Structure 1
Amino acid sequence: MTDSTPIRLLDLAPVAPIRSQTIYHAVGYALGPDSPDTIMLVSPDAPYVSIGRHQDAAREVDLDYCAAHGYPVIRREVGGGAVYLDGNQLFTQWIFRAEHLPATVEARFDLYIDSLVRTYRALGIAADHRPINDIHVNGRKIGGTGAARMDRAEVVVGSLMFDFDTSTMAQVLRVPSEKFRDKVRQSLADYMTTMRRELGEPPPRADVVATYLATCSEVLGRTIVPGELRADELALAEEFDARFATREWLEEGGGLRRPGVKIHEGVRVGEGAHKAPGGLIRCIATVRDDRLDDVAFSGDFTALPASVPNDLDAALVGCELAEEMLLSRVIDYYERVSPEIPGVGPSDWVAAVLQATTPQVPA
């Protein structure tokens, strides 16, 4: 992991919502043999909603509300949950060569979060790392983080939270009722915090950036030097701008819109969810004669490789609907592929399947 070459800093001016996502994807996928490791700082110039790589947009986000209020909904390749974003967050994105970061995603989270925790503490905010990948201040969340692999690049992302609009965050989420939305809004207000909430007035951006970069240099043991985006990175960002704006990309990872219903004797479709330490796993399953005929996973977990949910879908089709048989197949997949899914083990996928396939007894 040790390396003495300088890290390139890309401290960008505010950019369009879609570009605030596509630019770090472009730098990641453009990373070549001679490319530098990069720390990117960027904020959007307008509000939007970002959803995680494995989420179903229609299930997690109130798409009609977002459309009516002009909030684009953009899928990212990084895991995690749906979040409302605006210019009050400074995104801090590490795009590094794999050999220059720890070998596991959990260890990469530890290193990356250490830089944010130290920054907040230097600013007078008593932040702590709450495993697996959150940052808390006295029991309130001040940020989450995510990770992805983009060809040669390992990417870790998060933000420095100057302020956060909890009311709009509650509005953009899909919830079962307005009463439930009120509870979400209150919970966000009670259990999230920001620099503004902790300090009264957030420090100037330049001061926060200087503190963060000094901390990163110390944590990584490397110098950080200002740089510029290359032409190939900008060209790839433009390609991703077009791709990320399509309905096909937004709906990728979806397919979880079928209701829980009995189709005919011996065939039923059900849905369920299981909360693992590493995130929520949603499952919809079709059962035919007590075997899984079809299964689809989504959720706000982090999974490397990104194909994990689809791989598990394929691994479980045809399996007898018995806990030990399901668990055997998932364990076999873990042993063959060695996926990195922090806080999500084989039994968590099985629990989601059983939640989806166990007939519910009416209250």
Structure 2
Amino acid sequence: MSRLKFYDAGWLSPYALHASYAGLAASLGEGDEAWLVLARADQGHIALGASQYADAELDLNYCRMRRIPVVQRALGGGTVWVDSRQLCLFFIFPRGLAPRSHGALFDTCLDVLVEAYAQVGVTVTRVGGQDLWCAGRKLLGSGAASIGQAIVFGASILERFDAESFAACVDCSSRGFQTWLREALAEGMTDLLSLGYAQRATRFADVLRAVCDTRWDTVLARPDAVQNAAIAAVEHELRQSLELGGRRLVRGGLKINRETYLLEDTTSPWLRLLWRGGSVMRAASADHRIDTVLQACVGRPLAGGRLVYEQALAHGLSEAMAQSLVLRVEGLCRSLGQDA
């Protein structure tokens, strides 16, 4: 049984939190032992995915006005809100101990979390390889990255998800978009408090440690002087820069969960879609005729745009307007990497 160093870093600033795992991973050699780092943010903040652009995803003026830190984390994925009502955790495996692939990494780490949730009475289902869902809603998302000679898995245990604060930080193209975003997050996400588990995340940490004890020789540990220096260097870097000047990760909107996206085309007349698994579940447009067509498509598979085209003609739109509407809807949905 290999050894796992268990390090509870406690309450950290947003920059220190994300440096705690990235710096530690960067300091490890191929033959070092694996780590599990736990940490809690002492301030609500936005964590951007490694390949995202802050000015494309966020209302940076609002974040500055409210003094909300924005951190470009080393892990991939989309924008997330992190605050004190979450237990952040990071498995770090040097290459000598790392699972053979990123997929195997998710298998290893998510299996641990599935068992930990079960220990506190929460039954979860793995969805899409990287998420855990409960009662039809997303409870946990995860990400990974290779850092130095190590591979890192990260996730957060949501005790209470603050959808309001997250939605306020997102660059929303309209007030209507922001309202739909808050509603979609409330519908698509869940947390331990909503599921009836009201105890603090520290209790979950104890359960997680017990589960790890069954799989590794788990020992309490703290970073040494060299590792702390690496962590401090990464924290300094995180405070200095954000990626700017690129496009949004999801064209026209953002991902709510693996199945659901909120999208808006601001070209006049604007149109807004809540897209889920190949169908539009909610829609609106500034143009009454377009809005009527979209309402006729709600809840039905779009089938590559044929449904939109047929409904447009059926509701009196011209051939040119019908084709234009199809292109707009397909243009938004195509950015999801799936057929509209």
Q: Distance in 1 between matches of 2:108 and 2:216?
A: 14
User: Which residue number corresponds to residue 251 of structure 1?
Assistant: 243
TM-score, with normalisation over the residues of structure 1? Answer: 0.67
Deviations 1:64-90 (A, max 9, x none): 111111111110111011111101111
1:127-276 matches, cutoff 5 A = 127-199=124-196, 201-218=197-214, 221-246=215-240, 249-251=241-243, 254-256=245-247
Q: Look up the equivalent residue of 2:220 and give its one-letter code.
A: P
TM-score, with normalisation over the residues of structure 2? Answer: 0.72
CA contact (8 A) 1:134 1:141 kept: yes
Instruction: Verify: 1:53 aligned to 2:28, yes or no.
Output: no
Q: Look up the equivalent residue of 2:99 and give its one-letter code.
A: P
User: Which residue number corresponds to residue 111 of structure 1?
Assistant: 108
Q: Distance in 2 between matches of 1:61 and 1:124?
A: 36
Q: Distance in 1 between matches of 2:259 and 2:190?
A: 21
Deviation at 1:33, TM superposition (A): 4.7
Deviation at 1:143, TM superposition (A): 1.2
State the secondary structure of the residue aligned to 1:43.
strand
State the secondary structure of the residue aligned to 1:180.
helix
Deviations 1:58-111 (A, max 9, x none): 111111111111111110111011111101111110011124232121221122
Deviation at 1:279, TM superposition (A): 11
User: Which residue number corresponds to residue 335 of structure 1?
Assistant: none
Q: Look up the equivalent residue of 1:228 and give its one-letter code.
A: R
Distance 1:69 1:273, change over 3 A: closer
Match among 7, 12, 18 for residue 9 of structure 2: 12
CA contact (8 A) 2:38 2:88 kept: yes
| Long gaps (5+) in structure 1 | 258-270, 281-350, 357-363
Distance 1:137 1:55, change over 3 A: same
Distance 1:88 1:272, change over 3 A: closer
Q: Distance in 2 between matches of 1:202 and 1:116?
A: 18
Q: Distance in 2 between matches of 1:233 and 1:245?
A: 19
Q: Distance in 1 between matches of 2:252 and 2:194?
A: 36
Distance 1:16 1:273, change over 3 A: closer
Q: Look up the equivalent residue of 2:198 and give its one-letter code.
A: P
Tell me how many residue pairs correspond in the alignment.
265
Q: Distance in 1 between matches of 2:34 and 2:117?
A: 24
Distance 1:278 1:152, change over 3 A: farther
Deviations 1:14-37 (A, max 9, x none): 011100001100110000255321
User: Which residue number corresponds to residue 94 of structure 2?
Assistant: 97
Distance 1:48 1:127, change over 3 A: same
State the secondary structure of the residue aligned to 2:36.
strand
Distance 1:183 1:237, change over 3 A: same
Instruction: Verify: 1:78 aligned to 2:70, yes or no.
Output: no
Q: Which runs of 4+ in 1 moved over 6 A?
A: 271-275, 277-280
CA contact (8 A) 1:142 1:192 kept: yes
Deviation at 1:207, TM superposition (A): 2.5
| Long gaps (5+) in structure 2 | 262-329, 336-340
Distance 1:235 1:278, change over 3 A: farther
CA contact (8 A) 1:274 1:355 kept: no
Q: Distance in 1 between matches of 2:195 and 2:86?
A: 15
CA contact (8 A) 2:159 2:200 kept: no
Q: Distance in 1 between matches of 2:27 and 2:189?
A: 35
Q: Distance in 1 between matches of 2:205 and 2:69?
A: 27
Deviation at 1:132, TM superposition (A): 2.5
